[in-house]
Structure 1
């Protein structure tokens, strides 16, 4: 059974901010890695199609597919987990989410669905407007 992670995207104001950070990281390192302190214990379930869902400004806003989880020790000898992410950001149906520390598991049944893709009526609206309409329940 697939399992996801959810994490705060601290400092980002929008999905566009996150995408700019990803582009920079790809230019510098060739892949996008997000480093955390703890290695998920349910590694196999996460690598079975799981995604990292990003909370931006108190709203679950988008996700990235998790490609790998790599454990290592940093220069101070502290264990870390590198979450290797697909650079493609997929906007999701926005859901309010309160603050929390670190990452949390997110079951597939609790994960918000992806927003409509190109060619659907909603896709013609600007992404930020789609998000705002969904947050207030009009779409």
Structure 2
């Protein structure tokens, strides 16, 4: 399975991400649907879009840590207000916590194989505060 990973800019926590995704400008319906989903705007269209849509997720880096993922529902091109072409990544509204892992900054998005992706958080850490999860990750726990 193939995934994407992308930095989240201007968001300090998973709660901030969840709140931002419910804003009207961040919710759109994919072609042929009436259900609005959270959307991420990006410039480049992934060449391996078909593989991504076979169960892939968008992993999110917040504050230098991979903290969560959301299943990719659709990928579409669109025309921006300035006339340039962009890409919309439609996501499941469910934010799934993963085992926090440090990640250095990068631009745009990157492919992430399932073997390199952090596993989902287990029930013992799912309810821990984000600051504690970050600390545990820094200690390799």
Sort the TM-score into its range (normalised by shorter chain): 0.7 to 0.9
Secondary structure of the residue that 2:68 maps to in structure 1?
strand
- Is this contact kept in 1: 2:60–2:68, CA < 8 A? yes
Q: State whether structure 2 residue 47 is matched by structure 1 residue 41.
A: yes
Mapped partners of 1:43, 1:124: distance in 2: 33
**Which consecutive aligned stretches of 4+ in structure 1 deviate over 6 angstroms post-superposition?**
none
Change (3 A) 1:27 1:41: closer
d(CA) in 1 for partners of 2:49 and 2:126?
A: 34
Question: Are positions 1:76 and 2:44 aligned together?
Answer: no
For residue 130 of structure 1, what is the aligned residue in structure 2? 133
Provide the aligned C-alpha RMSD in A. Answer: 2.0
Which of 29, 47, 61 is the equivalent residue of 2:67?
A: 61
Q: In structure 2, the residue corresponding to 1:122 is in which secondary structure?
A: coil
What pairs with 1:1-139 in structure 2 (closer than 5 Å)? 2-25=1-24, 29=28, 30-117=36-123, 121-123=124-126, 125-138=128-141
- Stretch deviating more after TM superposition (27-36 or 2-11): 27-36
Shift of 1:31: 2.0
CA contact (8 A) 2:20 2:26 kept: no
Change (3 A) 1:128 1:67: same
The structure with the largest helix share of the pair is 1
Structure 1 residues 79 and 70: CA distance shift in structure 2, 3 A:
same
Runs (5+) with no aligned partner, structure 1: none
**Alpha carbons of structure 1 residues 92 and 25: separation in structure 2 relative to 1, 3 Å:** farther
Gap regions ≥5 residues in structure 2? 29-35
Cα distance, 1:27–1:78 mapped onto 2, change above 3 Å: closer
